[in-house]
Structure 1
Amino acid sequence: MDIVLGTHQYGKAEVRLVHVVRDGERHRLTDLTVSVALAGDLADTHLTGDNTKVLPTDSQKNTVYAFARRHGIGEIEEFGLRLARHFVDSQPVITRAIVHLQQHAWNRVGGHSFTRSAAETRTATVTVDGPDTVVVSGLTGMVLMNTTGSEFFGFVRDEYTTLPEAHDRILATAVDGRWRHASSESDDWAASFAEARRHLVEAFVDTYSLSLQQTLYAMGQRVLEHRPEITEVRMSLPNKHHFLVDLTPFGLDNPNEVFYAADRPYGLIEGAVRRDDAPRWEESWWNL
Structure 2
Amino acid sequence: MALEASISNLTTISDLISEFGTRLAEAEFKFEPLQQAHSNFCFCSEDTTGVIRKIEYDSSTNSFIGFSTPITDGIPSVRHFQANAFEDLKMLYDTNEMARLLNVHMFQRIPTEDNPKIFPKPCLLSAYGTDNRFTSIDILRRWIYIFQSFLNQGVRIIGFSTDADNKYMSVMRLGNPPHLITKWRNRLLSSTANLCYGNDKISIKHIENLIDNTNYTKLVHGLIMSDINPKDRQNYHSCIKLISDDVLNLLKSDANANGTFAYLALLKMIMKAYVDRSTNVLERISPFLN
TM-score under structure 1 normalisation?
0.26
Task: Select the structure with the greater relative contact order (CA < 8 A; seq sep ≥ 6).
Answer: 2
Larger radius of gyration: 2
Q: Which of the two has greater helix per residue?
A: 2
